[in-house]
């Protein structure tokens, strides 16, 4: 979709308003995109990035909770980087400090934006030209699913279950924010450097069994592979599978995703036959566990796409 309006908002309490907003804009002839169909915790960074890159304008629904959202900050960063117009709507609280120089419309109380606001959106649509990437043909090679689980800010801001070292993890928020920004921009080398800092510092603090440490290791291994070091990624994912199995169980979704990325990097490193064997075993396990919470059919379909690719 190109020429659409991207809506950036907090899932915590603004979803109902955003759905009404989307219906209102659609009825006015404004195509919209927001991530209602992406389950929190499995959000696809590449999808979000591409939708921002090809949008005509970005609407930010401003609330106090939204201003604390790392995801919304990243979405605004991306829009600024790609020079997309930003049109804030103030739903509750005060306007965002970082958008204080941008004209916003007051929709407190759940009001819909005015006709003048919609006219501004139409004007941006009229001046929008799809980017070259929007018409670029897709490669036969499947697009790798961006990491699941992601490491969203709640995992940093509050203690994980059974782990109470909140002060230490809060010190890593700036590093994590820059790491995620680098990842969204496709700068895998920078992401590797920053995630390695998080992994090393948390290990120094004895946090090896903390789920946030495991998540950071997942991102480190992923971006190491995407930066070109497939052999290193295979090693890191192999170690991660062992630790996730020990700490979380072999049938947990996080462990299965580590196996997926391990198999993909094995194939990308040149051992296609071994990748086929690993993916076949993974698909069998996903089939056995069908119906368990957190195991999505989409995951197995992605496994099958990579299996077909490496089998060709």
- Residue pLDDT, tens place only, 246-290: 999 999 888 998 999 999 999 999 999 999 999 999 999 988 887
- As assigned by CATH, the class of the 153-311 domain is mainly alpha
Whole-angstrom distance, CA of residue 265 vs CA of residue 227: 12
What residue spans define the domains of the chain? 5-135, 153-311
CB atoms within 10 A of CB 116: 8
The pLDDT-based confidence of 183 (bands split at 50, 70, 90) is confident
Instruction: From residue 135, give the alpha-carbon distance in Å to each of 49, 130, 131, 142, 276.
Output: 15, 8, 8, 17, 32
Percent of all residues in the chain with a pLDDT value above 70, rounded to a whole number: 80
Comparing CA positions, the residue from 56, 22, 37, 59 lying closest to residue 134 is 56
pLDDT tens digit string along 230-245? 999 999 999 999 999 9
pLDDT tens digit string along 69-124? 888 888 898 888 888 899 999 999 999 988 887 889 999 999 999 999 999 898 88
pTM: 0.54
The pLDDT-based confidence of 167 (bands split at 50, 70, 90) is low
Whole-angstrom distance, CA of residue 244 vs CA of residue 206: 16
- As assigned by CATH, the class of the 5-135 domain is alpha beta
Q: What is the DSSP string of 121-170?
A: HHHHHHH----GGGGPPPPSSPPPPPPSS---HHHHHSPPTT---HHHHH
pLDDT at position 172 is 82
Q: Tokens for 112?
A: 């819909």
pLDDT at position 176 is 80
């Amino acid at each position: 979709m190109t020429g659409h309006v991207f809506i950036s908002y907090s899932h915590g309490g603004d979803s109902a308003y955003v759905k009404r907003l989307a219906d209102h804009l659609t009825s006015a002839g404004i195509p919209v995109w927001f991530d209602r169909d992406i389950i929190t915790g499995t959000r696809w960074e590449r999808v979000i990035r591409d939708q921002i890159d090809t949008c005509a304008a970005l609407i930010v629904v401003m609330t106090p909770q939204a201003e604390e959202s790392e995801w919304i900050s990243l979405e605004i960063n991306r829009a600024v980087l790609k020079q997309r117009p930003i049109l804030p709507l103030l739903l509750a609280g005060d306007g965002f400090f970082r958008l204080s120089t941008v004209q916003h419309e007051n929709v407190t109380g759940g009001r819909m934006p005015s006709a003048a606001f919609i006219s501004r959106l139409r004007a941006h649509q009229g001046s929008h030209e799809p980017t070259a990437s929007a018409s670029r043909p897709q490669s036969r090679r499947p697009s790798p699913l961006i990491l699941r689980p992601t490491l969203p800010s709640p995992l940093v801001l509050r203690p994980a279950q059974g782990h109470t070292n909140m002060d230490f993890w809060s010190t890593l928020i700036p590093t994590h924010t820059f790491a995620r920004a680098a990842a969204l921009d496709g700068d895998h080398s920078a992401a590797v450097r920053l995630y390695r800092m998080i992994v090393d510092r948390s290990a120094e603090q004895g946090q090896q069994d903390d789920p946030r440490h495991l998540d950071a290791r997942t991102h480190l291994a992923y971006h190491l592979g995407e930066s070109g070091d497939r052999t290193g990624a295979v090693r890191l994912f192999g170690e991660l599978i062992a630790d996730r199995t020990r700490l979380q169980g072999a049938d947990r979704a996080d462990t299965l995703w580590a196996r997926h990325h391990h198999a993909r990097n094995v194939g990308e490193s040149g051992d296609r036959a071994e990748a086929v064997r690993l993916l076949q075993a993974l698909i069998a396990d996903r089939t056995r566990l069908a119906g368990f919470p957190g195991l999505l059919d989409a995951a197995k379909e992605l496994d099958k796409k990579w299996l077909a690719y490496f089998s060709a």
